[in-house]
Amino acid sequence: MGVIGEHAVVMGASMGGLAAAKTLASRFRRVTVIDRDTLPKRAENRRAVPHGGHAHALLISGRIALDELFPGLTDELVEGGAVLFDPGHDLLFHQMGSLRARFASGRCGVSLTRAYLEHSVRARVRALPNVTVRDRTLVRGYLAGGGRITGVELDGGERLWADFVVDATGRGGGGPAQSMERFGYPLPETDTVKIDVGYTTLMLKRRPGDLAGDGLLYLMSAVPPHDKRAAAAFAVEGDRWMVTLGGWHRAHAPVDREGFKEFAAGLEAPEMAELLARAESLDDQDARKFTYPAAKRRRYERLRTVPAGHVALGDAICSFNPLYGQGMTVAVLEALELGRRLDRFGATSAPMARSYYRATSKIIDTPWQMATGSDFVFPETEGSRPFGNGLLNSYIRQVMLASHVSRDAHRVMLDVQHLLASPASVMRPATILRALRHARRSPAHA
């Protein structure tokens, strides 16, 4: 790995932008990170990340990738209060009418708030000697010439010249991207899946034994097609529970306490209502709500013409249904891939950018197919339905039912959902036979 250029600019200081900054810091002499928000000095939610105060899942593959970028990060997070868990044993997963069979998977996850994770990673990035982080700074558009992006123009007229610019502005930060068309570069096609997701979060005090079976996390997914509700409870730093209730297509939880509890009491499984009855709330404020109308995937990999000196990353490429907890992990995996492509080409050329988009498309394919495929179990979901979606969902349902009694089926689902294995592993003959055999024994049939 060698120095590729003098200056790189990263637009956006959320998880994708921070991971990109770390990747670029060893390949450029200077890196400037720009964010329009006021970046807090402590682990606090920020206004420009409206979903930051809700349950966030860092998939195991994401935790591993972050440790690769920031060695020792997991240990640092745990020392500060984050909760280690085994997803096979400590996560109670109620799906398709029953809990998955619990077993010691040997996998290691970490549960924490988005604010704490982002604060810890931001502190690591700020400590890099050649990185400058500028908050309360708005990008007006790109600078370009000679077939490449040459920098950015800030809202006050200041110009930052750069050899490389990364757009990590998220799903709502499309202002700079629109200026691409002024320079003759087309915007990518966008795949949109309308899901009308909404959820509400409440923080509770945490004590041992609050959650059934001494669990540290709880997930309850919808039972389609008629029940569109979902629930999550995560043990997080500060001896707290982060409880999030909601669902698809207007199955949203109220923000008032009584309405929140009534929503939990109406869920198919009792664990969430029992936790709310047992645990004490942390404050007198109502819960917070967040809505998310549609998942979007911008198809940069299909563009024939892209400028040198620029790539997009994270939600700027693909914003997933947040109920599946895939976004942060995918953004970090893309940042690692960006480093590999820069090293391979040794330049910020257009061929490098095209190669990067093809590679990130493969990273995105699995979580996008998993999420949108599941979203289409609801007839209200609008968008381009994946080919063979109905048949695949019918089979996956059998694997889910099998996971109620089969540790092997549970392990396969766990590895795929945490992006540790390809979805093809679900289709192996041995898995198919186990699924069909064990699905009949699921307690959900009782």
- The beta strand positions in 147-273, using DSSP E, are 148-154, 159-161, 164-167, 190-205, 217-220, 229-236, 240-247
Mean pLDDT, range 35-51, rounded to an integer: 85
Domains, the chain, ordered by start: 5-48+115-189+299-371 (3.50.50.60), 76-114+194-293 (3.30.9), 389-445 (no CATH)
How many whole angstroms separate alpha carbon 363 and alpha carbon 314? 11
Between residues 209 and 427, which one has the greater pLDDT?
Answer: 209
Token output for 157: 């007229």
Query: What one-letter code names the amino acid at 189?
Result: E
pLDDT surpasses 80 at 50: no
How many whole angstroms separate alpha carbon 94 and alpha carbon 219? 6
**What angle (nearest 5°) sits at the alpha carbon of residue 62, between those of residues 60 and 66?**
120
How many whole angstroms separate alpha carbon 404 and alpha carbon 407? 8
pLDDT surpasses 60 at 173: no
Of 34, 399, 12, residue with least CA distance to 167: 12
Residue 255 pLDDT = 92
Residue 390 pLDDT = 80
How many whole angstroms separate alpha carbon 45 and alpha carbon 53? 6
Residue 135 pLDDT = 95
Q: What confidence tier does 389 reach under pLDDT thresholds 50, 70, 90? A: confident
Token output for 335: 């940042």
Residue 431 pLDDT = 80
Residue 287 pLDDT = 81
Are the C-beta atoms of 267 and 227 separated by less than 8 Å?
no
Residue 205 pLDDT = 94
The structure's pTM equals 0.94
Mean pLDDT, range 356-365, rounded to an integer: 96
- Alpha-helical (H) ranges within 44-104 are 60-69, 73-79
Residue 285 pLDDT = 64
Mean pLDDT, range 73-102, rounded to an integer: 96
Mean pLDDT, range 94-113, rounded to an integer: 94
Are the C-beta atoms of 108 and 59 separated by less than 8 Å?
no
Indicate the SS3 state at residue 31: strand
Mean pLDDT, range 61-85, rounded to an integer: 97
Residue 174 pLDDT = 55
387: burial class by Cβ within 10 Å (0-12, 13-18, 19+)? exposed
pLDDT digits (tens, 9 = 90+) for 302-357: 999 999 999 999 999 999 999 898 999 999 999 999 999 999 999 999 999 999 99
Residue 223 pLDDT = 75
Indicate the SS3 state at residue 132: strand
Q: Dihedral angle at the C-alpha atoms of 380, 385, 386, 387, nearest 10 degrees? A: 120
Residues with Cβ < 8 Å from 80, sequence gap 6 or more? 116, 120, 237
pLDDT surpasses 90 at 385: no
Residue indicated by tokens 């970490």: 110
Residue 160 pLDDT = 97
Token output for 276: 């709310």
